[in-house]
Amino acid sequence: MDSKNFSLNNGIEIPSVATGTWKLEENQLEDIFEIAYDAGYRHIDAATIYKNEDAVGQALKALQLPRKEMFLTTKLWNTNQTFEDTLKAFEQSLQNLQTDYIDLYLIHWPGSYERILEVWRAMEYLYHEGRIRAIGVSNFNVHHIDLLLKHTSIKPTVNQVECHPYYQNAFLNEYCQKHEILLSAYAPLMSWNVKELIQNETLIDLGKKYQKTPAQIALRWMIQREIIVIPRSKNPKRIVENIRIFDFELSEEDMYRIRCENRGLRYFTEPDNMDFGFLEDTNGGSNGPKN
């Protein structure tokens, strides 16, 4: 469990900790990426809807890395859920990110069954063309994944969903693991509710035991469940802190203590209730503050 990489079901290696980019300001990205790279991050999580995909590309370019040194995930937004629009949106993402391939391309939210299948056909096409190294989904419930497993030839490699100590997604994780699909935890620190996470008594107590912060305990707990984590921070100290989670291991008993903290409390929209009225400003599917 010391490895910082997980393996996807198509054999590709994926760094298990990614830098989140939602709500990061354009002028912050260069500094954040530089600190993140020095701290050991090799995975960036972007999305077209975050409206900073081009700034992510610019900041990445400023790092002057060989392209294959950074694993890039980005996501297809809901207004592009046709075959043709997927291809166009993909080209736009490449342009924004100043690259000629994406490591992991995700459907950001599921639409109707018809739309999911049509978009997946486009994703498979891009995958076969060698433009994407792995394809996956985000905010998919079991029934959405089932649809892909029954009707398509390539299964998703990743399902990126809300996951943290108060919303543990144990059943979905078990189901995905059974089908060799990795869960990726967004809002792993409970997003705008991070204060509640760092004030949780169990996480504080375990932090004292392992000489780690509550945030590190929460992230490590997900890594040990074989879940990718995507913490977002603009603070240099916390960026570093969030990846210093590979030098300790939570005992089974302590994993269980965190499991007992589950409250089934989600902060983002339940995917079956996502507003597909295609409003311009959907706040990325979050019910939280706009800024």
**CA-CA distance, 102 to 3, in Å (whole number)?**
23
Select the span of 171-179, 201-209, 231-239, 246-254 touching ligand NAP (CB under 6 A). Answer: 231-239
- 182 forms part of the interface with ligand NAP (CB under 6 A): no
Residue whose CB is less far from ligand NAP, 8 or 19: 19
x/- string (CB under 6 A) for ligand NAP, residues 241-260?
xx------------------
CA distance 154 to 120: 9
User: Catalytic pick from 41, 50, 166, 186?
Assistant: 50
- Residue nearer to ligand NAP on the CB measure, 162 or 254: 162
Binding part of the chain for ligand NAP, among 87-95, 115-123, 174-182, 187-195 by CB under 6 A, reads 187-195
Sign (positive or negative) of CA dihedral 109, 114, 117, 119: negative
230 binding ligand NAP? (CB under 6 A): yes
Q: CB of 21 within 8 A of CB of 50?
A: yes
Stretch near ligand NAP under the rule CB under 6 A, chosen from 4-12, 147-155, 200-208, 236-244: 236-244
Q: Which is nearer to ligand NAP, 150 or 263 (CB)?
A: 263
What's the closest the beta carbon of residue 20 comes to ligand NAP, in angstroms?
A: 2
167 flagged as catalytic: no
227 belongs to the binding site for ligand NAP (CB under 6 A) = no
Of 29-68, binders to ligand NAP (CB under 6 A) are 45
Taking CB under 6 A as the rule, does residue 21 contact ligand NAP?
A: yes
* Residue 189 lies near ligand NAP (rule: CB under 6 A): yes
Tell me which residues in 105-164 interact with ligand NAP (CB under 6 A): 108, 138-139, 160
Dist. CA 257–CA 251, nearest whole Å:
10
Nearer to ligand NAP, 21 or 81 (CB): 21
Handedness of CA 193, 196, 199, 204 (dihedral sign): negative
**Cα distances (angstroms) measured from residue 77 to each of 5, 82, 108, 119, 278:** 27, 11, 6, 11, 10
Query: Does residue 74 bind ligand NAP (CB under 6 A)?
Result: no
Contact window for ligand NAP (CB under 6 A) among 118-126, 128-136, 185-193, 220-228: 185-193
233 binding ligand NAP? (CB under 6 A): yes
Interface residues with ligand NAP (CB under 6 A) are: 20-22, 45, 108, 138-139, 160, 186-191, 194, 198, 213, 215, 230-235, 238, 241-242, 268, 284-285
Active site residues: 50
